[in-house]
Amino acid sequence: MIESVLQKLLAANYFNIVVVDDCSRDQTADIVKKYPVFYLRHIINRGQGAALRTGTDFAVERAAEIIVHFDADGQMSVEDIGRFVESLNGGMDVVLGSRFLANSGELTMPWHRKLLLSGAKIFNYLVLGVNYNDPQNGFRALSRQAAQKFTWKNDRMAHCSEILRLIKINKLSYQEIPVKINYSQYSLKKGQGFKDVWKIVWDLFINKF
Amino acid sequence: MTLLQYVLIVLSLLGLLNLFWQIRRGNLEWLASIKWFIAWIALLVVAIEPGVADWLANLFGTGRGADLLIYGAIVFIFLLIFKLILKLNQMDRQISQLVSYIAKHNVYLKDDSEKSDSTSQNNTVL
């Protein structure tokens, strides 16, 4: 999957690509090393939140002005990146992708995923005090200032909710924009399920200390 | 006195002896020394006069000295587990920091003359 994602990104003239390999056991390393991208490898698996932190820190160290989080499983659309950048250039600190705004790919989402996300939304509102359209969307863009202002503690899936809370705590400006997400068998298998809910809630709790 | 009482008395005296030995060798901080001292003395007192435990139990309203001990132990174990979880979580974070550091200092970049410089605007993190 990652190969076609890289090809699309490079074809769209995005040249400063950072790939964080969170200890993959497949051919990811060989594939990525064929392309002109920064390849960072976690020598042990630390989770999605940790991988995004490594990549974001690296980009900030390399003087990146804009950092876009983009999944390698092919579910995000390269065409959407331009609108994230536009919004950041328009003065926003953080831009978040949403699957539920007009023109997004809502129709392609399976019902059980929708149910799960409604639950996440209610939880985030009641417990974390944040109200976003699509709380578990990994498609986001940070300005350099925003990335320097906060780091998330959660290594695993709870980083999504934590980032939303950090935006609020740090009083950063943000915008939610519609994105199209292509659900494939592959990306659904890799995504979150009901069994992850408790883990996320627990992680959010324990990382408060 | 019952056999159990004799065993407990010997045990607590050995404990106190060991504690003084450790303190003299400077192996314990003063706070830990005090905690251990109180624990061994408490055991000695209860072993010599079991009525003390029942008197304490009545004070707390649990009825029997043995019950109070069990309740206390459960609370203690819960606190201990919580402390352990926090410690583990902290170690987890430290491991992540280490892994991240190693990753950032072993970056692989394919040599490519067409590559633009890193200060340009579009940066994408996968």
CB contact under 8 A, A54 and B116: no
Identify the pLDDT of residue B119. Answer: 40
Query: Is the pLDDT score of A158 beyond 50?
Result: yes
* A16/B107 touch (CB, cutoff 8 Å), yes or no: no
Length of chain B: 126
Residue B10 CB-density burial (10 A; 0-12 exposed, 13-18 middle, 19+ buried): exposed
Task: For residue A47, give the nearest of B116, B11, B99 by alpha carbon.
Answer: B99
Q: Which of residues 145-204 of A touch B (CB under 8 A)?
A: 153, 155
Residue A111 near chain B (CB below 8 Å): no
- Tell me which chain A residues have a C-beta less than 8 angstroms from the C-beta of B105: none
CB pairs under 8 A between A and B: 124
* pLDDT at res. B121: 42
Nearest-angstrom CA–CA distance, B93 and A50: 9
Sheet containing B108-109: which strands, arranged edge to edge? A174-178, A94-98, A140-143, A66-69, B123-125, A16-21, A38-41, B108-109
| Predicted complex: ipTM over 0.85 | no
| Model confidence at B116: pLDDT above 50 | no
Instruction: Look up residue A17 and give its two tokens.
Output: 């690509």
- Higher pLDDT among residues A120 and A167, named by residue: A167
Distance CA A184, CA A182 (A): 6
* DSSP result, A92-122: -SEEEEESSSTTSSGGGS-HHHHHHHHHHHH
Q: B118 in the Ramachandran plot: left (φ > 0), alpha (ψ -120 to 50) or beta? A: alpha
CA A95 to mean position of chain CA atoms? 11
pLDDT class for A101, splitting at 50, 70, 90? confident
CB B107 within 8 A of CB A58: yes
Which residue in chain B has the smallest CA separation from A18?
A: B125
Phi, psi of A191 (to 5 degrees): -80, -170
The mean pLDDT of B75-99, rounded to a whole number, is 94
pLDDT tens-place string over residues B13-51: 999 999 999 888 888 888 888 989 999 999 899 889 888
Residue B11 φ then ψ, to 5°: -60, -45
Query: Residue A190 pLDDT more than 90?
Result: no
Computed over every residue of chain B, the mean pLDDT equals 85
pLDDT at residue A102, rounded to an integer: 64
Which residues of B sit within 8 Å Cβ distance of A?
Answer: 85-86, 89, 92-93, 95-96, 99-100, 102-104, 106-110, 112, 114-116, 118-126
How many angstroms separate the CA of residue A122 from the nearest CA in chain B?
Answer: 26
Q: SS3 for B13? A: helix
What's the pLDDT at A174?
A: 93
Q: Given the DSSP bridges, would you call strands A38-41 and A66-69 parallel, antiparallel or unpaired? A: unpaired
Q: Which residues of B18-52 are buried (b: 16+ CB within 10 A; e: fewer)?
A: ebeeebeeeebeeeeeeebbeebeebbebbeebee
φ and ψ at residue B63, rounded to 5 degrees: 90, -60
| Average pLDDT score over residue span A5-23 | 94
What confidence score (pLDDT) does residue A6 get?
94
pLDDT > 90: percent of chain B: 48
Q: What mean pLDDT comes out for the span B87-98?
A: 94
- The model's pLDDT over A129-150, given as tens digits with 9 standing for 90+, comes to 888 888 888 899 999 999 999 9
Mean pLDDT for B56-73 is 84
Amino acid B124: pLDDT:
52
Number of neighbours of residue A201 by Cβ within 10 angstroms: 15
The DSSP-derived string for A191-206 is S--THHHHHHHHHHHH
Q: What is the DSSP letter of A33?
A: T
Give the closest of B85, B118, B122 to A66, CB-based: B122
CB contact under 8 A, A38 and B108: yes
Residue B122 is predicted with a pLDDT of 45
Answer whether A160's CB lies under 8 Å from A136's CB. yes
Q: What is the mean pLDDT of chain A?
A: 88
For the ranges A35-39, A115-119, A190-194, B108-112, the maximum mean pLDDT occurs at: A35-39
Mode of pairing for the β-strands spanning A16-21 and A66-69? unpaired
The percent of residues in chain B predicted with pLDDT above 70, rounded, is 87
Alpha-carbon distances of A164 from A118, A172, A178, A202, B38, rounded to whole Å: 16, 10, 17, 17, 48
- Residue A56 at interface with chain B, using a CB cutoff of 8 Å: yes
* A33 neighbourhood in chain B, CB within 8 Å: 108, 110
